Amino acid sequence: MRKLFLYFIFTISVLGIFSFKSETELKTGVASCYHDKFHGRRTASGEPYDKDKFTTAHRFLPFGTMVMVRNIKTGDSVIVKVNDRGPYHKTRTFDLSKAAFMKIGNLKSGPIPVEYKILDNSNSKAE
């Protein structure tokens, strides 16, 4: 019976039905930059968007989660706090504030490939 159980666990992990990955693992995605027209508007968390702070939008990470985002091409990285929902473009993972995006990329380059790692979500707010 134990062998059958272990075989079952192995099979579902290989098929990807359940993920045993750690939240601290590096993941890849694409980051874009918020447009300046959103400066001062309320984010989904209730905070006003400030283009000069290191913040980001993510579809499902809890508000307050701290994430390290690294440009794959240059190696430059930034630590940002999730305070909004988005991006709403399917191929993008993060909408970074202007300050955060400028630290790891160039506005003229457009969306950039990134690696990211969740650093801390102990201060995150439940939605």
Respond yes or no on whether the N-terminal peptide bond of residue 87 is cis (omega within 30° of 0).
yes
Nearest one of 55, 75, 62 to 115, comparing CA atoms:
75
Write out the two tokens for 90.
Answer: 């399917």
Q: Is residue 5 part of a domain?
A: no
Q: Is residue 11 part of a domain?
A: no
User: Looking at the 3D structure of the chain, how many domains does it have?
Assistant: 1
Q: Domain residues for 51?
A: 21-120
Q: Is residue 90 part of a domain?
A: yes
**Tell me, what CATH number does 51's domain have?**
2.40.40.10
Residue 65: what pLDDT? 95
Q: Which parts of the chain sit beneath pLDDT 50?
A: 12, 14-21
Q: Is residue 6 part of a domain?
A: no
Task: Please provide residue 99's backbone torsions phi and psi, each rounded to the nearest 5 degrees.
Answer: -60, -45
Q: Is residue 14 part of a domain?
A: no
Write out the two tokens for 70.
Answer: 């690294």
Residue 34 neighbours by CB distance under 10 Å: 23
Write out the two tokens for 80.
Answer: 């940002």
Q: Is residue 16 part of a domain?
A: no
Q: Is residue 95 part of a domain?
A: yes
Q: Is residue 4 part of a domain?
A: no
Instruction: Report the C-alpha gap between 6 and 16 in whole angstroms.
Output: 15
Residue 16: what pLDDT? 47
Residue 36: what pLDDT? 84
Residue 6: what pLDDT? 52
First to last CA, the chain: 42
